[in-house]
Amino acid sequence: MICDDLVNFEDYVIFEDEATKKIAAFIRNLDRNNAVGKYEIDGDKIFAMISSYETRKEADYEAHREYVDIQLLLVGEEYVYVGSSAGAVQTKEYTPDCEFFKFTPESANCVNLHVGNFAVFMPNELHMPNMDSCNGTFANLKVVVKVHKSLLK
């Protein structure tokens, strides 16, 4: 997992150069007026989903097989819990249409995601986003850019 300020996104050498340029261009053009929905950036290799939701108190962890998640908030605040797969118990079978597992890990760390931050979750990294922070429940607007693992350096 990587978590940093959005201004530093291009400093991380994660993806092939051309993929990084496409992702960075998409992120630079985002604002809170973007419509909720799915945005194609490079076919099924890179796409983004913008969603509006209220943070929650309970959830399961997820881990993706085929895609890296880049998560950034346009509005709001949330905790994202990150767990180790060691000792995790799978609670939901893999389904290609939703492309995630859910786990119940024994221990977790927490990241407080604010507007202006981003978090990257590699395939198979357990994470539980969209959670209430210590400041309470928030009405969030979030972008999740999905990048196929074949574009990793």
Break the chain into its structural domains and give their ranges.
2-151
Distance of alpha carbon 54 from alpha carbon 140, whole angstroms: 6
pLDDT, averaged in runs of 10, over the chain (153 residues): 95 96 95 91 97 95 94 96 87 84 86 95 94 96 97 96
Which residues neighbour 54 within 8 Å (Cβ) at sequence distance 6 or greater? 137, 138, 139, 140
- The pLDDT of residue 105 is 84
What letters, b where the CB count within 10 A reaches 16 and e where it falls short, cover 114-138?
Answer: eeebbbbbbeebbbbbbbbbeeeeb
Measured from the Cβ of residue 102, the count of other Cβ atoms closer than 10 Å reads: 19
- The pLDDT of residue 115 is 96
- The pLDDT of residue 85 is 83
DSSP state of 153: -
Cβ atoms of residues 125 and 68 within 8 Å? no
- The pLDDT of residue 123 is 92
- The pLDDT of residue 99 is 80
Measured from the Cβ of residue 109, the count of other Cβ atoms closer than 10 Å reads: 10
Chain-centre distance for alpha carbon 111: 12
User: pTM value?
Assistant: 0.94
CATH class of the domain at 2-151? mainly beta
**Terminal-to-terminal C-alpha distance of the chain:** 15
Q: Which pair of tokens denotes residue 81?
A: 């819990």
